[in-house]
Amino acid sequence: MLDAPHPLFPSLPRSVACPLALILLLACSSGCGGSAPTDAPADEPSSRMEYALAVHGGALGSLDSLGAERQARYEAALSEALSIGEEILAGGGSSVDSVEAVVRHLEDHPLFNAGRGAVYTHDGRHTLDASIMDGRDLSCGAVAGVTRIRNPILLARRVMTESPHVLLAGEGAEAFAAEQGLGFVEPAHFDTERRREQWEEWKREQEAGAAADHGTVGAVALDADGHLAAATSTGGITGKRYGRIGDSPIVGAGTFADDRSCAVSCTGQGEEFIRHGVARRISALMRYRDLSVAEAARRVVHDVLSPGDGGIIAVSSTGEIAMEFSTGGMLRARADSSGRREVLVR
């Protein structure tokens, strides 16, 4: 075979030029020309949103009974919550403040299954769960099974910032709330006509196995400093008993935030979200498999969970938002610094 001149070293015989070219190539790929270290953040600050926010008001089992009037009330409430959170972010406030304010607002709204509008337990009470996480340092706080705290998300944040613990439950959590001077209400504060009717219906139709609505609320945010946060609050599922706790106060299942990947808040059948570690799984797919937040969310909601299990909202460290669900609908809203703003139900 003809020994044609090598393109880089035409004066050298090919048997010498080829190994030489290979050595040069290897040397360059391992650092010549000042290339960035391999563990540098994938996105330069200029390619990320200044801020981004997503909110959910729960996954809806079916849209059949959702009339125009209730849809309009959901949309108005979500839009209001979105504006509250966005104002904080646009003013340079932190993602933790933003998600707390959004969730607190929705907890005070009787339409959602969190705080004021919480569902009824098997024995006609309300037990509330909430969690919050700061993606800067993985600090987090959660409460489960509280019955007299007006805004469980505020208590979850105090657990995060004022205690050495991550999750407090029941009476102990309320004793801590009293020490912290947080607002208590009578348990009847959480009674609403619509949830009572749902409970009555649930008692009549327990065996029917109808698709349930999950009115849990949650928010995820990226702030101008590049920090992520997530918060979730719920009354759980109608008719729950035996001290049942779902995914909402379980960090890694219903809530997760890590500046290196994303912030996630979930809604749906809590047992499945705990079993599959949904929120943290989405983060792990981004960190270790290099998936985008949209692809990671899609895989977990549709390939790991089963149809009808629920949905998630997530925001990445560059401000990309994913809102994925496998139920009839999910109450959701998003806004970011590019001016994009959406409130969606279907």
* Residues designated catalytic: 216
- Per-residue binding letters, 194-213, with ligand ASP (x by CB under 6 A): --------------------
Q: What are the distances in angstroms from CA 11 to CA 5, 200, 239? A: 7, 91, 84
**Which amino acid belongs to residue 180?**
Q
Taking alpha carbons only, the member of 112, 108, 63, 100 closest to residue 236 is: 112
- Which C-beta is closer to ligand ASP: that of 17 or that of 266? 266
Among 61, 85, 270, 329, indicate the residue that binds ligand ASP (CB under 6 A): 270
* Residues 103-122, interacting with ligand ASP (CB under 6 A): 113
Q: Which is nearer to ligand ASP, 92 or 243 (CB)?
A: 243
Q: In terms of CB distance, is 234 or 283 closer to ligand ASP?
A: 234
Q: What binding mask, one character per residue, do residues 229-248 give for ligand ASP by CB under 6 A, x or -?
A: -----x-xx--------xxx
Residue 228: what residue type?
A: L
d(CA 57, CA 7): 63
Tracing tokens 């009339």 back to the chain, one arrives at: 67
Distance, in Å, from the CA atom of 93 to the CA atom of 144, rounded to the nearest integer, reads: 28
| Gap between the Cα atoms of 319 and 338, Å rounded | 10
Q: Quote the least distance from Cβ 333 to ligand ASP, whole Å.
A: 16
- For ligand ASP, how many residues bind (rule: CB under 6 A)? 15
Whole-angstrom distance, CA of residue 176 vs CA of residue 159: 8
Span 31-60, contacts to ligand ASP by CB under 6 A: 58
214 binds ligand ASP (CB under 6 A): yes
The answer to whether 340 touches 333, Cβ cutoff 8 Å, is no
- Give CA–CA dist 297/104, Å, rounded: 25
Regarding 250 and contact with ligand ASP (CB under 6 A), the answer is: no
Provide the minimum distance between the beta carbon of 53 and ligand ASP in the complex, in angstroms, as a whole number.
Answer: 20
Assess 99 for contact with ligand ASP (CB under 6 A): no
> Which one among 127, 216, 233, 283 touches ligand ASP, defined by CB under 6 A?
216
Q: How many Cα atoms sit within 13 Å of 134 on the Cβ side? A: 16
Instruction: Supply φ then ψ for residue 302, to 5 degrees.
Output: -100, -25
Which residues make up the interface to ligand ASP (CB under 6 A)? Answer: 58, 113, 214-216, 234, 236-237, 246-248, 254, 267-268, 270
